[in-house]
């Protein structure tokens, strides 16, 4: 990607410690509830559209379009939700009058494969419209951007793709993503522990979350090995572990714990203890996540 379609945006500097405590409590309760609701309604395809190539593709796209990283994480969640619903609908026969081709998986996947790049872009475009800190990607800019990538599409095609995603999501775009959890947890941490510089932590947390998102499979595989104390976990153990890979609260505290270890190792125990108190997640779970991630950052097998 060579062209920049918007001037480079300045890094977003959030102002911490300004939200009243009662508002923070409400935010935290809401985050926790939505996280639990998310974990109780997981599908068998959870996480399938968060692999490294797709995540990197979306991150590069948002960077080229000078969008806030929040839009990238939002787009990943929209893509995951849409593709699961979309493929489920295409592969599920609808009564006796169902089109026989709907059950032909090969034909279905070929059709989706052709439209997939545009679906990804539509998720990014919709995410840009939901972010307070991003430029909105209008159709004129979208057409120019896609043409620069060798994809010639009309504004009508763009609109149709965007509507397809919207309808597939039942117009529900207000989905949470890991970066929101990190930001709210940092705000609560800063309120409870004024001695911790959450402003500096936030900058590093964004890099850590970026790393974890790109190395998602290997990090969670190592965490599974650490948790089960088994080098070759069974299929049943992997299925049960899906609730861990999709736990945004755990991911949020894990990312903050890693950043805290790097910046404030002398206060690490204090930070982990406070994160455990805030979320109810055990110190052991937070420490295991941080240990595994740090080992991958320095390129050492986490289970050794």
CATH topology of domain 50-168: Cyclin A; domain 1 (1.10.472)
The predicted structure's pLDDT at residue 109:
77
Tens digit of pLDDT for each residue in 135-185? 788 888 899 998 888 888 889 999 999 999 999 999 888 888 999 999 999
As a whole number of angstroms, the distance between CA 146 and CA 19 comes to 40
Look up residue 31 and give its two tokens: 């985050």
Tens digit of pLDDT for each residue in 9-62? 444 566 777 777 888 889 899 999 999 999 998 877 788 899 999 999 999 999
The DSSP call for residue 133 is S
Look up residue 227 and give its two tokens: 């948790």
- Determine contact, residues 253/275, Cβ cutoff 8 Å: yes
Show me where the domains of the chain are located. Answer: 50-168, 178-297
As a whole number of angstroms, the distance between CA 14 and CA 16 comes to 6
Highest mean pLDDT range out of 121-125, 196-200, 297-301?
121-125
The predicted structure's pLDDT at residue 106:
75
What sign for the dihedral angle of Cα 6, 173, 46, 248? positive
What percent of the chain shows pLDDT beyond 70? 89
């Amino acid at each position: 990607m060579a062209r920049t379609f918007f001037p480079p945006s300045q890094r977003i500097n959030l102002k911490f410690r300004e939200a009243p405590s009662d508002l923070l409590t409400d935010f935290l309760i809401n985050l926790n509830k939505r996280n639990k609701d998310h974990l109780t309604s997981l599908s068998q395809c959870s996480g399938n559209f968060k692999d490294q190539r797709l995540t990197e593709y979306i991150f590069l796209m948002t960077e080229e379009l000078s969008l806030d990283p929040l839009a990238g994480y939002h787009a990943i969640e929209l893509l995951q939700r849409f593709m699961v619903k979309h493929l489920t609908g295409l592969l599920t026969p609808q009564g006796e009058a169902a089109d026989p081709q709907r059950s032909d998986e090969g034909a279905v996947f070929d059709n989706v494969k052709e439209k997939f790049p545009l679906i990804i872009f539509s998720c990014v475009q919709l995410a840009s419209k939901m972010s307070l800190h991003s430029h909105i990607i209008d159709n004129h800019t979208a057409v120019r951007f896609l043409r620069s990538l060798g994809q010639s599409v009309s504004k009508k095609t763009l609109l149709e793709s965007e509507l397809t995603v919207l309808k597939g999501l039942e117009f529900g775009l207000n989905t949470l993503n890991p970066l929101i959890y990190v930001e709210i947890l940092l705000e609560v941490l800063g309120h409870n522990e004024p001695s911790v510089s959450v402003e500096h932590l936030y900058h590093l947390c964004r890099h850590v979350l970026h790393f974890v998102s790109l190395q998602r499979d290997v990090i969670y595989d190592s965490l599974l090995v650490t948790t089960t104390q088994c080098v070759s976990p069974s299929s049943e153990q992997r299925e049960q572990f899906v609730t861990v890979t999709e736990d945004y609260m755990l991911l949020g505290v894990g990312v903050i714990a890693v950043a805290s270890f790097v910046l404030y190792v002398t206060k690490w125990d204090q930070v982990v203890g406070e994160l455990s108190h805030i979320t109810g997640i055990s110190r052991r779970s937070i420490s295991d996540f941080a240990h595994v991630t740090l080992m991958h950052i320095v390129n050492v097998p986490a289970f050794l």
